[in-house]
Amino acid sequence: MPTTGPESRAIVAVGIATDSAGRLLVGQRPPGKDYAGQWEFPGGKLEPGETVYQALVREFGEELNLTVLAAHPLFSSRQAYPDRSVELHLWHVTRYHGEMRGLEGQVLRWVSVGDLDSLDFLEGNRSLLKRVCALTISDCQ
C-alpha cells in the first residue's frame, strides 16, 4: 500500500468467507508486499468511485479467482499503523463460486476457529478475530 505520509488513510473491503465446515478463509501476504508473511482476511482498498461491496467483489475475483454471489456487511473498524490509518469494512461472504487460487502469489488456507491464534495475523485483523468469529460462526469459542 503506497502512502503519502503519516496521515495516509486507506478504506478497505474485507471478506469473511466460510466453508461448509465453518472454517475461515485467510491469506498470507506474499514476499515483496508490506507486512509480508503475515496472515489476513482477503480483500483490498477501494478504488475511486467504488462502493465497499463493489471493491469486495472485485478483490475476490482479482486475488482469489472467486465470484462473490452474496455477502452482507458485518461491521467497520479503524486501525492505526505507524505509517497509515486503515478503515476496515468487514463483510460476511455467504455465497461464492469458482476455484480458489492465490492469483497474487499469496498462500490461501481454510482455518478452523481453534487454529486462528496459531497464525501471525496483521494486527488490524488479529484485534477483530473474536468479533468476526462471533458474527460468522455459531459455535465460536
Residue 7: which pLDDT band, with cuts at 50, 70 and 90? low
Q: Are strands 39-40 and 43-45 parallel, antiparallel or unpaired?
A: unpaired
Which amino acid, 140? Answer: C
d(CA 29, CA 103): 12
The domains located in the chain, with CATH, are 9-136 (3.90.79.10)
Of 25-29, 67-71, 84-88, 136-140, least confident by mean pLDDT is 136-140
Q: Is 55 left (phi over 0), alpha (psi -120 to 50) or beta?
A: alpha
User: 25 and 110 in contact (C-beta within 8 Å)?
Assistant: yes
In tens, the pLDDT along 90-115 reads: 999 999 999 999 999 999 999 998 89
Q: Tell me what pLDDT residue 123 has.
A: 78
Counting beta carbons within 10 angstroms of the beta carbon of residue 2, is it exposed (0 to 12), middle (13 to 18) or buried (19 or more)?
Answer: exposed
Residue 81's pLDDT is what? 76
Q: Counting every residue, how long is the chain? A: 141
